[in-house]
């Protein structure tokens, strides 16, 4: 988990020193002067823009995109119920993996993982909703 946070903080330092741009339509990222003029964007409706990228200032999520997954309290419990999805918390996949391996939940993800909320049982769902 420490390696993940070290990598994120290092990427933030680099982004403060160098300008980082991303296309608003596709996942391409450009580090350095504002984006190139090569017509190679293949995102939706690229024909109307003649394949030009729509450059905008990048965020950390553009550079290191987090894959959010549903937080599972116990891997031995039954599968998550789709009807109760608003009661389950989410976390980046790397955080969820480290938590299941025994790492403590980082403070900045504690509220996202909703550790203090207990999903209702299927027979209680009608009473809650």
Beta carbons within 8 Å of 94's beta carbon, 6+ residues apart: 1, 4, 66
How many Å apart are CA 66 and CA 7, to the nearest integer? 13
Instruction: With 0.75 as the threshold, say if the pTM is over it.
Output: no
Please report the pLDDT score of residue 122 as a whole number: 66
Instruction: List, for residues 28-83, the tens digit of each pLDDT value.
Output: 888 888 767 777 777 776 666 777 888 889 888 888 877 888 777 777 777 777 76
Q: What are phi and psi of 48, to 5 degrees?
A: -70, -20
What mean pLDDT is reported for the chain? 79
Round to whole Å and give the CA distance between 76 and 56. 44
What the block records as the tokens of 45 is 């409706």
């Amino acid at each position: 988990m420490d390696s993940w946070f070290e990598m994120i903080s290092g990427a933030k330092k680099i982004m403060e020193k160098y300008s980082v741009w991303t296309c608003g339509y596709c996942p391409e990222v450009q580090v350095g002067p504002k984006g190139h003029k090569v017509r190679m964007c293949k995102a939706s409706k690229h024909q109307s823009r003649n394949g030009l990228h729509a450059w905008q200032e990048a965020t950390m999520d553009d550079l290191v995109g987090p894959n959010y997954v549903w937080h599972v309290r116990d891997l031995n419990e039954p599968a998550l119920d789709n009807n109760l999805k608003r009661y389950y918390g989410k976390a980046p996949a790397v955080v969820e993996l480290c938590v299941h391996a025994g790492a403590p939940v980082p403070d900045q993800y504690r509220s996202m993982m909703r550790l203090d909320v207990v999903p209702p049982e299927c027979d209680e769902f009608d009473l809650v909703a």
